[in-house]
Amino acid sequence: MTKKSEQPKDQKSKSQEGLTIKKGENFSEWYNQVVQKAELADYSDVKGFMVIRPNAYSIWEQIQSYFDQRIKTLGVRNAYFPLLIPESFFKKESEHAKGFAPEVAWISNKDENTTERLAIRPTSETIMYDSYSKWIRSWRDLPLRINQWCNVVRWETKATRLFLRTREFLWQEGHCVYETKEECDKETLQFLEEYKKTCEEILAIPVLVGRKTEKEKFSGAFYTLSVDGIMPDGKTLQMGTSHNLGQGFAKSFGISFLDRNEKKSVPWQNSWGISTRLIGAVIMAHGDDHGLVLPPKVAYNKVVIIPLLFKGKEQEVLKKAKEISNKLEKFNPLLDDRDYNPGRKFGEWELKGIPIRVEVGPRDVEKKQVTAVRRDNGKKLEFKESNLIKEIEKTLEEIQDYMFKKAKSDFDEKITDVKNIAELNKAISNQKVARAFFCGDSKCEERIKEQSEGVKSINMPLEKNSKEAKCFSCNKPTKTVCYFGKVY
């Protein structure tokens, strides 16, 4: 409290100032400034935990709304499982337990008749599959497709970054059970494809689609598929994963069913998730020197309307601005009629990334038109009032389209083929992602990491190569290609 009263309290708060650094100058500091100044997130007093502010939460809501509808179409139903998981559940699947142990936060069970510790969920496989073992009896109960939107806690020891690596984040975790491996394989891939669509069609971020190496797969999985974006600094960001869990969890949790031949069988399972880290991806991928740039499909407010209040014309301009705001209701327009000068308002809404700024001045009123400015490329347009909704719609589509194309061209440029460790290291130091033939062996991968500055495998494209080549690291023959890079 004392601290706060020492701060200057002028009407222009810090967050409303523009960026003081360029994206190309210091990417990391630029990111922090955008997050703070566009009022996207704050650190909390608990180390590593974040406050997701409304400007960022609305991005998450747009992602939720799109993705939730997609998975419902695919037969997935939402549910909610407990936050706290008994320690004994964790131990049932040993690889899983080993993978998550260091990151788990525990609470002491407050009940007197037990001393078992309770974990705050880092992920919910174990508590969900305990229920599944009670619910599944027959092939008629399959496929079972359940998803939950919730918070998870992972006590990261690495430095935290808002949205990208925090000790708590929001996500969805889908958990399905199938009669056969084939069905499980098929849908594990299907959910990955939904993630690809979400990234590319909604977030306008192209992704590397592939299979994780044995070393990098999810703890307890049979295999893991992933989509990874390439950020402007050349580091990749894992944006979604879909795991075929095989039958391991089912066996550990006693999930079985009577199959179509009345025989007891062990089902196949998958799990898949995306998280609020996608918000970080949007910031990094599209932001510019003026701040955030939101793809229209993740922008809740797609338009901001700014009346230009020339003296003597205030009333007619304001009236028109309100009229236009009502007309554009489906785009959730913001009408900024505060008594600030227009330049300040332009700056604030550019910083916050609203896709289209609509200016209404006396001349516009007269000519029954508005001036519109695109956030993505700064282009000025004039729209006739009579055709406004259609023009805005079309422009939003163009922005979405243009942003993806621009991101895709950056993405393509970032990928470099390499043939040996020296080339790998050169590519990485040039902020690129390396593509190479790779044997897939964990020891070989460990060696690559040691021979570079901690470079990791990203994933291996799913399309099979016809030609055989040699692993760029150990020279073993292989048909597999793999991406390597520094990762968030």
**Using CB under 8 A as the criterion, which residues of the chain lie in contact with a copy of itself when the complex forms?**
1, 4-5, 9-11, 13, 42, 44-47, 49-54, 57-58, 60-61, 77-86, 89, 105-108, 110-111, 118, 120, 127, 130-131, 133-134, 137-138, 140-141, 146, 150-151, 153, 155, 168, 170, 253-254, 256, 258, 264, 338
Nearest to 226 by CA among 475, 481, 433, 459: 459
In angstroms, give the least distance from the CB of 160 to a copy of itself: 12
Kindly state the helix (H) or strand (E) to which residue 265 belongs, with its residue range.
Answer: strand 264-265
Non-local (6+) Cβ contacts of 113 within 8 A are: none
Phi, psi of 43 (to 5 degrees): -70, 150
In angstroms, give the least distance from the CB of 140 to a copy of itself: 6
In angstroms, give the least distance from the CB of 356 to a copy of itself: 20
Residue type, 170: L
CA distance 29 to 51: 19
In the complex with a copy of itself, the residue whose CB is nearer, 166 or 457, is 166
Nearest to 354 by CA among 317, 309, 395, 404: 395
In angstroms, give the least distance from the CB of 221 to a copy of itself: 21
In the complex with a copy of itself, the residue whose CB is nearer, 9 or 464, is 9
Kindly state the helix (H) or strand (E) to which residue 90 belongs, with its residue range.
Answer: helix 87-91
Contact 351, 35 (CB under 8 A): no
CA distance 419 to 442: 19
Tokens 């021979």, located at residue: 451
In angstroms, give the least distance from the CB of 305 to a copy of itself: 17
In the complex with a copy of itself, the residue whose CB is nearer, 19 or 120, is 120
In angstroms, give the least distance from the CB of 76 to a copy of itself: 9
In the complex with a copy of itself, the residue whose CB is nearer, 150 or 389, is 150
**Token digits of residue 423:** 């080339």
- The three-state secondary structure class of 315 is helix
In angstroms, give the least distance from the CB of 141 to a copy of itself: 8
- 384 strand-pairing partners: 369
In angstroms, give the least distance from the CB of 11 to a copy of itself: 5
DSSP string, 125-185: HHHHHHHHHHH--BGGG-SEEEEEEEEEE----SPPBTTTB-SEEEEEEEEEEESSHHHHH
Rg (CA), the chain: 25
Nearest to 135 by CA among 254, 273, 261, 263: 254
In angstroms, give the least distance from the CB of 385 to a copy of itself: 25
Kindly state the helix (H) or strand (E) to which residue 436 belongs, with its residue range.
Answer: strand 433-437
In the complex with a copy of itself, the residue whose CB is nearer, 14 or 379, is 14
Nearest to 358 by CA among 329, 386, 330, 336: 336
Tokens 């007891």, located at residue: 264
Q: Which is it for the CA torsion 387, 391, 394, 396, positive or negative?
A: negative
In the complex with a copy of itself, the residue whose CB is nearer, 25 or 45, is 45
In the complex with a copy of itself, the residue whose CB is nearer, 44 or 377, is 44
In the complex with a copy of itself, the residue whose CB is nearer, 136 or 373, is 136
CA distance 454 to 436: 17
CA distance 60 to 280: 11
- Pure H helices in 8-76: 27-37, 54-73
In the complex with a copy of itself, the residue whose CB is nearer, 18 or 440, is 18
In the complex with a copy of itself, the residue whose CB is nearer, 63 or 403, is 63
In the complex with a copy of itself, the residue whose CB is nearer, 164 or 448, is 164
In angstroms, give the least distance from the CB of 435 to a copy of itself: 37
In angstroms, give the least distance from the CB of 355 to a copy of itself: 18
